Amino acid sequence: MNTYWNNKRIVVTGGSGFLGSYVVDMLKQRGAAPEAITIPRRATDDLRAMEVCRRVVEGQDIIIHMAASVGGIGINREKPGEFFYDNLMMGVQLMEAARQAGVGKFVAIGTICAYPKFTPIPFHEENLWDGYPEETNAPYGLAKKMLLVQSQAYRQQYGFESIYLLPVNLYGPRDNFDPRSSHVIPALIKKCVEAVAANAATIEVWGDGSPTREFLYVEDAAEGIVLAAERYNESEPVNLGSGMEISIRDLVETIARLTGFQGDIVWDASKPNGQPRRQLDVQRAEQYFGFRAHTSFEEGLRRTIEWYKQQG
């Protein structure tokens, strides 16, 4: 019987969001008392304000920080300043407030966007500082990357226990399907399902289909985060991924097949591709805290498509 979470008070920022809601579910499954989990709400808890951060962390044992201003390429290009400021201020102030309050452990969730634009495949954690991130999401990626610097500096100076995880692109039920701010998988599912319903002959997709991505099913990601919180206590960054790689072209064709869309795919090469390739080395997560993704990509896509259709 897992007893790690017994009598621990936990704050999960972003706990009502896509990934956060699964992390909260996983915490309960692994023994955390529901009443011991606090989920700050954006409407009443603006984590960009230091006084709010201090109030949120007071009397807590563990902070899992997942709250973020985030989205796909389009909204990253539209709001680079907002994404930089919001993510930097939330993370840096929350960790400082946690240190001041004597919180036992801080789990910082970073982003794959922190890696350099041209990173050798597979991405090793040691490659993080080998270049500048892909331009369309660099402000977001760098803001999140500062939590790694802070984590390592605070451990060195204060002995503060914090860890930094780098999840790859996530997908699954409960994802954001708003076409203005969604990531690639929900955006494509929405396009294909609506095209089938409308009997449309074509769908349009950004870029030329050549970039590659790795995807991690959201329930697997939640398990990885909770296992790391329980078992890992170093400030070296750790990738969370599935270890797979698929081109955007193959991804679109797979989603079209699974949704029943049989029309033509029109590529808009005037739109940005984003980072050329993404695939993580995932050995460190298995070595340090026993995490390995177990949901196959097609099975995860089927569940996501089915959930989206059920939402109407």
- Would you please indicate which residues are annotated as catalytic (active-site) residues? 140
β-pairing verdict for 105-109 and 62-65: parallel
Q: How many helices (H) and strands (E) does the chain have?
A: 10, 12
What is the three-class DSSP state of 99?
helix
Q: How far apart are CA 45 and CA 177, in angstroms?
A: 25
What is the three-class DSSP state of 179?
coil
Residues 6+ apart with CB under 8 A from 178: none
User: The dihedral of CA 285, 286, 289, 291: what is its sign?
Assistant: positive
Residue 307 Cα distances to 197, 300, 310, angstroms = 16, 11, 5
